[in-house]
Amino acid sequence: MTADQDAARRPDLLGAAELLRVRLAAVALPLDVAGAASARADLRAAADQLDDHVLPRLRASGAPLLVVVGGSTGAGKSTLVNGLLGERVTEPGVLRPTTRSPVLVHHPVDEGWFTTDRVLPGLARVTGGAGADHGRALRLVPTDALPAGLALLDAPDIDSVETANRELAAQLLAAADLWLFVTTAARYADAVPWQLLEAAAARHANVALVVDRVDAGAEAVVADLRRLLDEHGLGESPLFAVPETPATGGLLPEEAVGEVAAWLSDLGSDAGARAEVAATTLAGALADLARRARTLAAALDEQAAADERLRAVVRRHADDAVEQVVRATSDGTMLRGEVLARWQDLVGTGELLRAVEQRVSRLRDALGRVVRGRPAPAPQAEQAIAHGLEAVVLDALDDAAERTDASWRADPAGVALADGTGGGRAGATSRAAVAEQVRRWQGDVLDLVREQGERRRGTARALSFGVNALGVALMVAVFASTGGLTGVEVGIAGGTAVLAQRLLEAVFGDEAVRRLTTTAHERLVERVRALVDDDLGRFEGRLDALALEQASEAAARLRAAADEVEAALAAGPEPARTTPASHASVQLRGADAWRRAHPGGRPGASGSMAPAVPVGAGTGTGDEGAPSRTGFWRRLLGRRDERRDADERPEGRS
């Protein structure tokens, strides 16, 4: 298979990364479920890393290698950068917190790579002398003292007292092709640097460390730092010790920075080495982003579960509210007090009750006489029923709102949302709506009576005298059971219900009354359900605004994007397009002096845990398919030994 055919079969890594960025942009984690704050921070970090490092590197693999110089407050980052270049391009911080803008130093021929938003698109570009404070802007400094193909970025302190500075420092380190991490002999064991270094090791980033201000005879510090590097998965990382030395004119002596200068100069002069370190860091970042995407997909699932949990609470209490009204309107609770008094005013307790025991025709005549003689009591009875029914429904709404509010506040995901729902009582608009719906239900009942009367022509004359009264009787029949009453009330209400039932049966017949009662009850339940859903809808409205109904689908799409990234990584990297160092002879300050003092020496090897092995292989893979740094470090650290061995090898031997 040709290289072109292999490339055609290889999944598109850039396309996979771009798809992952689109999927991340669609992730929303608004609910405060367990771990949500951490997931939001991880989401921002993943998006930043794609924007700042991964996508720019995939789109332009031949861009200069970005070396980010990071470390703790007062570690000497800026002093080291100035010492390597032999000029004050960045101002060492004196006041804390450090507020200066990050400084990116590059060779003039590489200016085009950094003046655009190819990397770190969220930072504005500025130019200016050392000491200028441009906030979060990226200050660009061109200099011939730096090899082409290599750029140094002096980052803010990782442990700054200013949150914005810490966040920017972490963002810049995540954008690096290579970390040059600076610490001191006094602070190398601090927790904050190791948190970031552990994260770097987890995603197989290339890291080199500089321990600054090492006193003579303090070899134990370097040895202990080597141990910590090994324990944290960074045993292959080069380690440089910079002695405690006073600066002259703001610059460290050449001998203090010489080993770091020689190592970076070797890197700057070797396009292949730069391509290797960029490729391994990129592969590690992509593998870590795929892992993060799966973690974020799980966080989306948690959001969806919380959304459904909160909605279920609303539905449960809505059902309870409807059931509460159903019980109150079917167990005799309504047949007391004002409703009972007005009913008795309407029908009396003597003449009509005695007529119930006679023939149907006599009952109809009695009904006509009673109703014709009592025009006012029917509206009064309707009004009493309306007031009683409104009170029952409002009590149910208040209970449902109170219980929903309490349940949401007991759930971490619902606390913040509950504050915007209007509290644990029915809303003012709901109270007006209850009165309106009760009136409409009473209208429904009267319509049922009229419709039934039209079907039975023989009752038309009687109905013409008593539609309202029969409507009230039907309402009473709906409230017929006596389960909610005790003592004397049982007998009174029971007689009231029997009277209403018999009256309706005399006019319409048994079957029609059962149908009318069932229909009237169903319409009442429908209107109560609409009222409850409308009132508690203010809770679900808070969830609707978050649009989490599609969270599970978004999680599935995010996992699919992670699968594509992993498939593209498994297919192997595309051949790197490198930019040869047109100024390969450029050496950082102190590099030549260090080589003269250490003929045949390997810069970084004295402080590195990297094994002294022959050079040969390029970038390999470690366990579990993770990208390995070994090929790059061996190549870079062993280059001078390879040349020496070639010079000393006898002829005829390979």
Written as one string, the DSSP assignment of 290-346 is HHHHHHHHHHHHHHHHHHHHHHHHHHHHHHHHHHHHHHHTTSSTTSSHHHHHHHHHH
Helix (H) or strand (E) holding 28: none
Q: What is the pLDDT of residue 117?
A: 82
Asked if residue 459 is part of any domain, the answer here is yes
Q: Is residue 322 part of a domain?
A: no
Amino acid 373: pLDDT = 43
Q: Kindly give the pairing relationship between strand 103-106 and strand 150-154.
A: antiparallel
Q: Is residue 49 part of a domain?
A: no
Spatial contact of 551 and 300, defined as CB atoms under 8 Å apart = yes
For residue 198, what pLDDT is reported?
A: 87
Domain assignment present for residue 12? The answer is: no
User: In DSSP terms, which residues pair with 69 in a beta bridge?
Assistant: 154, 180
Q: Is residue 276 part of a domain?
A: no
Instruction: Specify whether 334 is located in the same domain as 456.
Output: yes
Q: Which tokens in the block code for residue 319? A: 């059902």
Q: Is residue 23 part of a domain?
A: no
What pLDDT score was predicted for residue 204?
85
Same structural domain for residues 542 and 585?
no
Look up residue 443 and give its two tokens.
Answer: 């209208």
Q: How many domains does the chain have?
A: 2
Residues 455 and 585 in one domain: no
Total count of residues recorded for the chain: 654
Tell whether 72 and 128 lie within a shared domain.
yes
Range of the domain at 461: 329-547
Low-confidence ranges of the chain (pLDDT < 70): 1-11, 93-100, 128-135, 336, 340, 343-378, 423-424, 427-428, 456-466, 480-498, 573-585, 605-654
Does 224 lie in the same domain as 342? no
Of 524, 505, 523, which is closest to residue 514 (Cα–Cα)? 505
Please indicate, yes or no, whether residues 495 and 541 belong to a single structural domain of this protein.
Answer: yes
24: nearest Cα among 53, 41, 5, 44:
44
Clarify whether residues 406 and 476 are in a common domain: yes
The pLDDT, as a whole number, for residue 574 is 58
Q: Are residues 245 and 335 in the same domain?
A: no
Tens digit of pLDDT for each residue in 118-140? 888 888 998 865 555 556 789 99
Question: What tens digit of pLDDT does each residue of 587-645 get?
Answer: 999 999 999 999 888 887 654 323 222 222 333 344 444 444 454 445 454 443 443 34
Whether residue 483 is contained in a domain is answered as yes
- Six-digit token pair at 111? 């200016």
CATH number of the domain enclosing 192: 3.40.50.300
**Which amino acid appears at position 616 of this protein?**
G
* Amino acid at the residue 8: A
Identify whether residues 251 and 342 lie together within a single domain. no
Same domain (yes/no): 210, 343:
no
Last-in-domain residue among 488, 522, 547: 547
Which of 528, 547, 566 finishes a domain? 547
Is the residue at 636 inside a domain? Answer: no
Helix H or strand E encompassing 456 = none
Name the token pair of 104. 């990116």
What pLDDT score does 222 carry? 85
- Model pTM above 0.85: no
Buried b (16+ CB within 10 A) or exposed e, 566-576: bebbeeebbeb
Residues 520 and 589 in one domain: no
Element spanning 279, H or E: helix 271-328
Q: What is the dihedral of CA 437, 438, 441, 446, to 10 degrees?
A: -130
Q: Are residues 499 and 600 in the same domain?
A: no
Q: Tell me the C-alpha distance between 406 and 362, whole Å.
A: 58
The pLDDT of residue 479: 83
> Both tokens of residue 278?
């960029």
Q: How far apart are CA 96 and CA 523, in angstroms?
A: 72
